[in-house]
Amino acid sequence: MIRSVFPAVTLLAAALLGGCAGGATPLTFDLAALPAGGRSIASGRAIVVSEPVGIQPFEADRIIVREGAGSLSFLGGGQWADRLPRLIQTRIIQSLENSGRLRSVSRPGDKIAADYQLISEIRAFDIQTATGEAVVDLSLKLVADGTGRVAAARIFTARVPVQKVDASSGAQALDQALVTVLGDIVRWVNTGR
């Protein structure tokens, strides 16, 4: 199982937020990419991975809590190592590269000719207090470059129980859920399943 291969969350460093006089120093958490696979079997396809889009709270570097009534708040004491969309984009790129199955994986600004563009939306990346779970829900579309034709589309979801609603437990559970989703995304992009 993929989850057992990874440390759940890598603690990067404690970072002091500028302008927060007397406030507690939030912990900074990173998300894991899938490790490099065995041998490479490049398919000859090149993919550009766009930065995911999502509602405004997902545009930040904060860990989000979704209450039972649907309200969203930021979990105190922790933050991501970067803005969430950029962090997810980076881990998707690294995971696809590590699979060794594609000719190239890049970002739109890299100006590399691609066969497909991977477009994604963050539908959920939060701790849900009603169910006591970390939920990662990403919608992805593989679009043929040049034609704009959607070659394939799929929603990827993973849920992981959260022991306690705090920064460390929440980040760890969200990381585990993302690793599951990344495994499914890599399989889907490489094999169509």
Structural domain contains residue 38: no
Structural domain contains residue 169: yes
What is the dihedral sign for C-alpha 28, 100, 190, 103? positive
Structural domain contains residue 19: no
The pLDDT of residue 19 is above 50: no
Q: What percent of the chain has pLDDT over 90?
A: 72
Mean pLDDT (whole number) for 122-132: 96
Among 40-44, 84-88, 154-158, name the one with the lowest average pLDDT: 40-44
Mean pLDDT (whole number) for 5-19: 34
Q: Which domain holds residue 181?
A: 24-31+44-191
Structural domain contains residue 106: yes
Q: Which alpha helices (DSSP H) does 50-155 contain, by range?
A: 84-99
The type of residue at 174 is: L
Give which of 130, 158, 141 is closest to 67, Cα–Cα: 130
If pLDDT is split at 50, 70 and 90, which confidence band does 129 have?
very high
pLDDT, one tens digit per residue, over 75-93 is: 999 999 999 999 999 999 9
Phi, psi of 127, deg, nearest 5 = -95, 125
| CATH classification at residue 162 | 3.40.50.10610
Quick check: 29 and 78 in contact, CB under 8 A? Answer: yes
Number of domains in the chain: 1
pLDDT, one tens digit per residue, over 158-185 is: 999 999 999 999 999 999 999 999 999 9
